[in-house]
Structure 1
Amino acid sequence: MTYRYAVERTDHSALASGHVLRSAPGFPGFPVRLADELFQRAAVHTGLPAVRLWDPCCGSGYLATVLGLLHRERIASVRATDVDPDAVELAGRNLRLLTAEGLAEREEELRRSARDFGRPSFVERAEDARGLARGLARAGGDLPHEAAVADVFSDPGPVAADLVVTDVPYGEMTAWAGEAPGEDPVGALLASLGRALPPGAVIVVTARTRRVPLPEGVRALERVRVGVRAAVLVRARDVA
Structure 2
Amino acid sequence: MAYRYATDRADRSDLASGQVLRSAPGHPGFPVRLADELFQRASAHSPNRPVTLWDPCCGSGYLAAVLGLLHRDRLARVLASDVDDAAVRLAARNLELLTERGLAGREGELRARAAEFGKPSYLETADAARRLAARLSGLGGDLPHEAWPGDAFAPAEPGHPVDLVLTDVPYGDLTHWSGAVPGADPVPALLRSLAGVLPGPAVLAVTARTRRIAVPDGVRPLERLRVGNRAAVLLRAADLH
Q: Is TM (by shorter chain) over 0.5?
A: yes
Give the drift of 1:3: 2.8
Unaligned 5+ segments in structure 1 are none
- State the match for 2:222 in structure 1: 221
Give the drift of 1:160: 1.5
Give the Cα–Cα distance (whole angstroms) in 1 for the partners of residues 133 and 3 of structure 2: 31
Partner of 2:54, secondary structure, is strand
Give the Cα–Cα distance (whole angstroms) in 1 for the partners of residues 83 and 189 of structure 2: 15
The letter of the residue matching 2:178 is E
The letter of the residue matching 1:20 is V
- State the match for 1:38 in structure 2: 38
Alignment map for 1:11-160 (pairs within 5 Å): 11-157=11-157, 160=161
Runs of 4+ deviating beyond 4 Å: 174-178
The letter of the residue matching 2:58 is C
Give the Cα–Cα distance (whole angstroms) in 2 for the partners of residues 176 and 204 of structure 1: 22
Q: TM-score of the superposition, structure 2-length normalised?
A: 0.95
The letter of the residue matching 2:209 is R
Say if 1:56 and 1:177 are closer, same or farther in 2 by CA, change over 3 A.
farther
Give the Cα–Cα distance (whole angstroms) in 1 for the partners of residues 13 and 219 of structure 2: 37
Aligned-residue RMSD, C-alpha: 1.3
The letter of the residue matching 1:239 is L
Give the drift of 1:155: 4.3
Cα deviations by residue, 1:149-194 (Å, 9 ceiling, x for unpaired): 01111142366200000000122xx546453311121111100111
Give the Cα–Cα distance (whole angstroms) in 2 for the partners of residues 96 and 175 of structure 1: 29
- Matched-pair identity in %: 63
Partner of 1:46, secondary structure, is coil
Alignment map for 1:157-196 (pairs within 5 Å): 157=157, 160-171=161-172, 175=174, 177=176, 179-182=178-181, 183-196=184-197
Unaligned 5+ segments in structure 2 are none
Q: State how many pairs are aligned.
A: 238
